Structure 1
């Protein structure tokens, strides 16, 4: 996966280098949170600073992987592209910008709708695209979600 990010260009070579390091650590260690993945405060803090940088966006991060996934598709006779909307919940006490209400006024979070390509044998080829958004109010964005996520 690291070779997919050789063409990365976030507009700052330091950011490119930081993302490559983050991807390397995440693919080797995995985990549920940045502190779990990095295992130390300096690595975790560096990742937090990276993700909060205004030059960094989820679209720019996923683009090299998405392009590599599209190349892998051409090597297959048949592919399956599966997608589903996932709700990502945050605790009310977590201070995270741009979250919206979820299933009640007490829950907040984001909606994520990835499109993931697989071979007919179930081998994942990668993420083709994803949309991420938050509701503006409880019960809102249903039409908006349908428009964004065909």
Structure 2
């Protein structure tokens, strides 16, 4: 009986969290917002499963793919509710908050990697055996800023940027041909650090409480 009560309480808490995350979502069309809510709930209940298994039927799966392929939907629309919920959690806490920046790479295997883009180079088995030939890595890069209390409690993501490279080029080769000190900072990938700092500070709304942390090796 106690286990059942605990499960029921957890379900209520999960639903409340889900509604808070969805409440501030901003889309160009109310129908898109409704579809996003349906899809988010399906993925929430089927966490870790494929889209087909989470959606449970072909009609819902096609609707999910149509939503993700819609030109009127971008990652900022999808994350707008989460950004607002993160700001609300920020204001419900006291003291300094750490805003942790870093970049994550999502790697994929595709016959035509140029359709997705390049994320960088991967260490191959050949390289491990001493043949240093860079292997193009197909994928997407994500630079995110995670807000965390000084006690280590995650509050949510305050800023995020997704991108991929149009072509793969070895770092050493590029550095020998390009003078990076003459490229405006706005045209460099490293500008994402400044962008995220500005966006997260604006969203959280209290810069005096924000302590931004990132890697020390940065070329601006």
Taking structure 2 as the reference length, what is the TM-score of the superposition?
A: 0.59
Which residue of 1 is the match for residue 20 of structure 2?
Answer: 3
Residue 47 (structure 1) aligned with residue 77 (structure 2): no
**C-alpha distance in 2, partners of 1:96/1:53?**
21
Q: SS state of the match for residue 107, structure 1?
A: strand
Within 5 A, what are the aligned runs for 1:29-108?
A: 29-31=46-48, 33-77=50-94, 78-93=96-111, 97-103=115-121, 104=134, 106-108=136-138
Which entry has the higher C-alpha Rg, 1 or 2?
A: 2
Task: Specify whether residues 100 and 149 from structure 1 end up closer, same or farther in structure 2 by C-alpha distance, changes over 3 A only.
Answer: same
Which residue of 2 is the match for residue 135 of structure 1?
Answer: 165
Which residue of 2 is the match for residue 148 of structure 1?
Answer: 192
Which residue of 2 is the match for residue 125 of structure 1?
Answer: 155
Q: SS state of the match for residue 190, structure 2?
A: helix
**C-alpha distance in 2, partners of 1:17/1:73?**
27
Task: Specify whether residues 130 and 33 from structure 1 end up closer, same or farther in structure 2 by C-alpha distance, changes over 3 A only.
Answer: farther
**C-alpha distance in 1, partners of 2:21/2:137?**
36
Aligned-residue offset at 1:39: 4.0
Q: SS state of the match for residue 55, structure 1?
A: coil
Aligned-residue offset at 1:123: 2.3
**C-alpha distance in 1, partners of 2:30/2:113?**
30
- Of residues 17-26 and 5-14 in structure 1, the stretch that sits farther from structure 2 once superposed is 5-14
**C-alpha distance in 2, partners of 1:135/1:32?**
29
Task: Specify whether residues 96 and 59 from structure 1 end up closer, same or farther in structure 2 by C-alpha distance, changes over 3 A only.
Answer: farther
Aligned-residue offset at 1:134: 0.6
Give 5+ residue unaligned stretches, structure 2.
Answer: 1-17, 122-133, 175-179, 195-220
Task: Specify whether residues 15 and 72 from structure 1 end up closer, same or farther in structure 2 by C-alpha distance, changes over 3 A only.
Answer: same
Higher helix share: 2
Pairs aligned (count): 150
Aligned-residue offset at 1:120: 2.6
Q: From 141, 145, 158, give the equivalent of 1:111.
A: 141
Which residue of 1 is the match for residue 3 of structure 2?
Answer: none
Give 5+ residue unaligned stretches, structure 1.
Answer: none
- Of residues 69-78 and 7-16 in structure 1, the stretch that sits farther from structure 2 once superposed is 7-16
RMSD across aligned C-alpha pairs, in angstroms?
2.7
